[in-house]
Structure 1
Amino acid sequence: MSMEIDIPVTAAARRDMEANREEALDDDGLPRRTGTVWTASAHIITAVIGSGVLSLAWAMAQLGWAAGSVSLVLFSVITLYTSSLLADCYRTGDPCNGTRNYTYMAAVKSNLGGTKLWLCGLSQYVNLFGVSIGYTITASLSLAAIVKSNCYHWKGREADCSVPTSLFMVGFGMVQIFMSQLQNFHKLWWLSIVAALMSFCYSFIGVGLSAKSVISGEIGETSITGTVVGVDVTAAEKIWKSFQALGNIAFAYSYSLILIEIQDTLRSPAENKVMKRATVVGVAVTTVFYILCGCLGYVAFGNKAPGNMLTGFGFYEPFWLIDIANICIVVHLLGAYQVFSQPLFAVIELRIAQWFPNSNLLNHERPIVINNRLGFSVNGFRLAWRTGFVITSTTLAIIMPFFNEVLAFLGALGFWPLTVYFPIEMYIAQKGVARFSTEWVFLKCLSFVCFLISVIAACASIQGVIASLKHFSPFHTRF
């Protein structure tokens, strides 16, 4: 037998309880955000350091000490500056009490709207689709590198250890078909932590192996201008690959797309000021790391630097450490593929659901229980659409498995519109920057210069793909 006792609550106690509940909420009624400059800095560093770091030694080799070092610093300065502009766009109106914009697209909608919102969506989702192709290529090259490194270790460096990458891409795609059906993928918070740890692990291994080569004196031939025309490359190749290198560096710095989401984790008030400080810390740490990676890698390999420092076999030993690094890359990209694909899945499925609200194909969920703790549900449309998406991205990766060219194209595709153009346009609109004023002219000139960089990097990457396709046959050419 149980007995319930009613304890009277005084008016004062009730007011205290209401006050405590209000204190637990932010101004938008959501649970109070607790992020600080240090947590935001950690998010930025985690978001920026990734597969782009693997191509920096190659980029330095194409540009040389002068242009390469300047480019690494210049891209970091531009990213830092435009990120500070974007931080001011988190709230519409008053910087402390204005309406919050929870996503990049929401910020563009509230500040620009109209055609620019449509262009932003197009840029964002084409970029997300491109990333799925790039990650499929990178993961398959790492899987192939694991097989090759063991082959070289046991059979010698002169042995024919080439392997077809197409089979690895098909295998990676099959895993992604299954993972794409996980409807609540965003709840797997631990996967982001694992992916972040993996990216740091393989990045530090790359830096460590480069430093070891430099310390031991096993270095390549470097120069102020990089690869030498007539020795390493032709005059035309020098120009195209130098522009490609700019795209690779731009890809390495791309994180503006998630800046607003990171800022939405910060405690009030004045989130923009805290975000600006976090951006300084995050970009500064990343730039130092990139300079170390690019410069040490360039010293270690010289003008013969491979496109991917961990799969191009500038390093052969210790083979087990190279295997660990490539396993980390694969694990990282297994989760990162879904992190970038799920927003695109959600947008398409939301649109289709709005067009056909009563469709059984969309609304009927069939539960699949694996065991008492693991299970998920599928429906016909999600199964067909997401599977088709993975098959398409995998097929394009098989047709164009060119690491540097694809990364350069993705860097060019995201750099100008998402890192530069929209932050500048939103800042001008929100702050009411006078037309033809000094600040307006400076911002427009910066945007135009970055537009030109993106265009030439995109053209160079397309030219590189076309040139590589002349010597490539899907399912036959071996890596």
Structure 2
Amino acid sequence: MGTRLHASDNKYYNEQDVDERDAQEKAIDDWLPITASRDAKWWYSAFHNVTAIVGAGVLGLPYAMAQLGWGPGVSVLVISWIITLYTLWQMVEMHEIVPGKRFDRYHELGQHAFGEKLGLYIVIPLQLIVEAGVDIVYMVTGGRCLHRFYTLVFKDCKKMKLTYFIMIFASVQFVLSHLPNFNAIYGVSLAAAVMSLSYSTIAWGASLNEGVRPDVQYDYKDTTIAGTFFNFFNSLGSVAFAYAGHNVVLEIQATMPSTPEKPSKGPMLKGVIAAYVAIAICYLPVALICYWIFGNKVEENIFMTLEKPVWLIAMANLFVVIHLSGGYQIYAMPVFDMIEYVLVKKRKFKPSWRLRIVSRNIYVAFTMFIGITFPFFDGLLGFFGGFAFASTTYFLPCIIWLAIYKPKKFSLSWFTNWICIVLGVILMTLAPIGGLREIIVHATKYKFYS
């Protein structure tokens, strides 16, 4: 039987052994959630991206506006929309930058740009912080919206702890987390995308219905200079949190078919553009109209501020819960892929449903526990948004682009990427300071598991 040379270690292997190994590798890839299916349509990209980006962040945008003010607030929203659309386009373009190869995961692109080890060390920690951070915030927000629904509809019933509602939301995630891959959750994601458009419309529509408050004020909420600055920094992180889809975009694109004649970037870009139109429709009216109506009296979650009509606000809170259920899964799927990749390929566990049940349940339980312990919605938005989201969304794609394409110094591409990098680094530096301060302020008044 013939033999062939294995280039990595200069040893001879039996062809049958190599073929068997290749077959095993393919079987594992077909089992892992990111690479299991590649028959998605462009509209899958659209509602996956809407679900990934429009989430808990939109609920905090009016509060961010109250801490930023009219001029800075509008500027930050619009500039963030432009920068993140640009960096998302870069990610889509780089998915198949090497002919015949697909970078199905964010860290694989990082490894191509920075080297096997360095790329892994740069991208994996940031991506895990982002994805686990989103899921923790979604746990808190889902629980709060369920709690709000309960208090609106069952006013005469016994009061219940927020902890119980976070656990109710988590129980849904324990079930949904066992859908095997991205394409298996397309129905959940579609429902989530529809819900995001629905509750965003309800948020600004109900605000208009209430009318501008007679005592509305647009001054900064905090009366001290230090507090105003810290709140300003925290709100930068909240806006960064609202534009977070980059952390799963390569994984979403990995589910699409691709050939040399019809690469995946074509349909993926159609989905991205459709998603960003929907994002603008959701974000700008909610941020601007709700701030105009309530001023600096707006709560950190807009649905905590709105009161009338009761049935509509209650329904909107349920819409948020449905959307966050889909959003949780969009961000959890790459984490499941990382966990299962390590267990199967590195630790040599056998791919099985038992492995998935144990590993995925542990992850959901972890995010539930952290969410119950630290349910500080706005502080979490600012801290996670600044520390990790600014990196992976605003400037890491630009650094990778410069490392791979090496555009001519002082060219338009060079200038554009460096402007994004500078703004992103400033955001990453300032926002976590405000978010951490917000968490500390809340923690001094908070009784754990209350």
Match of 1:465? 439
Is the counterpart of residue 258 in structure 1 residue 248 in structure 2? yes
Match of 1:190? 187
Larger radius of gyration: 1
- Of 311, 318, 326 in structure 2, the residue corresponding to residue 335 of structure 1 is 326
Q: Which amino acid aligns with 1:78?
A: I
8 Å Cα contact 2:44/2:186 also seen in 1: no
- Superposition pairs of residues 109-124 of structure 1, within 5 angstroms: 109-114=111-116, 115-124=118-127
**CA distance in structure 1 between the aligned counterparts of 2:221 and 2:342, rounded to whole angstroms:** 52
**CA distance in structure 2 between the aligned counterparts of 1:281 and 1:189, rounded to whole angstroms:** 16
Q: Which amino acid aligns with 1:170?
A: M
Q: Secondary structure of 2:174's partner? A: helix
Is the counterpart of residue 172 in structure 1 residue 177 in structure 2? no
**CA distance in structure 2 between the aligned counterparts of 1:56 and 1:266, rounded to whole angstroms:** 36
Once the two structures are TM-superposed, the CA of residue 269 in structure 1 deviates from its matched residue by: 4.0
Q: Secondary structure of 1:317's partner? A: coil
Match of 1:211? 208
Match of 1:17? none
Q: Secondary structure of 2:313's partner? A: helix
More deviation in 299-308 or 381-390? 381-390
**CA distance in structure 2 between the aligned counterparts of 1:53 and 1:31, rounded to whole angstroms:** 31
TM-score between both structures, scaled by the size of structure 2? 0.81
Task: Report the CA distance shift for 1:219/1:137 in structure 2 as closer, same or farther (over 3 A).
Answer: farther
Task: Report the CA distance shift for 1:457/1:150 in structure 2 as closer, same or farther (over 3 A).
Answer: same
Match of 1:235? 225
8 Å Cα contact 2:50/2:193 also seen in 1: no
**CA distance in structure 1 between the aligned counterparts of 2:37 and 2:439, rounded to whole angstroms:** 48
8 Å Cα contact 1:64/1:222 also seen in 2: no
8 Å Cα contact 2:48/2:189 also seen in 1: no
8 Å Cα contact 1:250/1:411 also seen in 2: yes
Once the two structures are TM-superposed, the CA of residue 148 in structure 1 deviates from its matched residue by: 1.6
Q: Which amino acid aligns with 1:291?
A: L
Once the two structures are TM-superposed, the CA of residue 54 in structure 1 deviates from its matched residue by: 0.6
- Cα RMSD of the aligned pairs, angstroms, is 3.1
Match of 2:7? none
Q: Secondary structure of 2:445's partner? A: coil
- Of 263, 266, 290 in structure 1, the residue corresponding to residue 283 of structure 2 is 290
Deviation readout 1:104-157 (Å, 9 max, x if unpaired): 3333333333302331122112211112211110011011101222355x79xx
Once the two structures are TM-superposed, the CA of residue 33 in structure 1 deviates from its matched residue by: 6.8
Q: Structure 1: which 5+ runs fail to align?
A: 1-29, 156-160, 366-376
Q: Which amino acid aligns with 1:433?
A: P
8 Å Cα contact 2:201/2:282 also seen in 1: no
Match of 1:474? 448
Q: Secondary structure of 2:69's partner? A: helix
**CA distance in structure 2 between the aligned counterparts of 1:31 and 1:339, rounded to whole angstroms:** 15
8 Å Cα contact 1:220/1:304 also seen in 2: no
Q: Structure 2: which 5+ runs fail to align?
A: 1-35
- Of 446, 451, 456 in structure 1, the residue corresponding to residue 430 of structure 2 is 456
Once the two structures are TM-superposed, the CA of residue 468 in structure 1 deviates from its matched residue by: 0.6
Deviation readout 1:406-426 (Å, 9 max, x if unpaired): 122232234332113331122
Once the two structures are TM-superposed, the CA of residue 58 in structure 1 deviates from its matched residue by: 0.6
Match of 2:293? 300
Match of 1:129? 132
TM-score between both structures, scaled by the size of structure 1? 0.76
8 Å Cα contact 2:149/2:314 also seen in 1: yes
8 Å Cα contact 1:108/1:422 also seen in 2: no
8 Å Cα contact 1:219/1:301 also seen in 2: no
- Superposition pairs of residues 63-142 of structure 1, within 5 angstroms: 63-93=68-98, 99-114=101-116, 115-142=118-145
**CA distance in structure 2 between the aligned counterparts of 1:261 and 1:435, rounded to whole angstroms:** 31
- Of 144, 148, 170 in structure 2, the residue corresponding to residue 145 of structure 1 is 148
Once the two structures are TM-superposed, the CA of residue 219 in structure 1 deviates from its matched residue by: 5.7
Task: Report the CA distance shift for 1:263/1:466 in structure 2 as closer, same or farther (over 3 A).
Answer: same
Once the two structures are TM-superposed, the CA of residue 385 in structure 1 deviates from its matched residue by: 3.5
**CA distance in structure 1 between the aligned counterparts of 2:428 and 2:38, rounded to whole angstroms:** 39
Q: Normalized per residue, which structure has more helix?
A: 2
8 Å Cα contact 1:166/1:474 also seen in 2: no
Match of 2:17? none
Once the two structures are TM-superposed, the CA of residue 350 in structure 1 deviates from its matched residue by: 2.5
**CA distance in structure 2 between the aligned counterparts of 1:249 and 1:307, rounded to whole angstroms:** 13
8 Å Cα contact 1:51/1:199 also seen in 2: no
**CA distance in structure 2 between the aligned counterparts of 1:322 and 1:140, rounded to whole angstroms:** 16
**CA distance in structure 2 between the aligned counterparts of 1:143 and 1:290, rounded to whole angstroms:** 22
Q: Secondary structure of 2:308's partner? A: coil
- Of 196, 199, 202 in structure 1, the residue corresponding to residue 199 of structure 2 is 202
Once the two structures are TM-superposed, the CA of residue 163 in structure 1 deviates from its matched residue by: 4.2
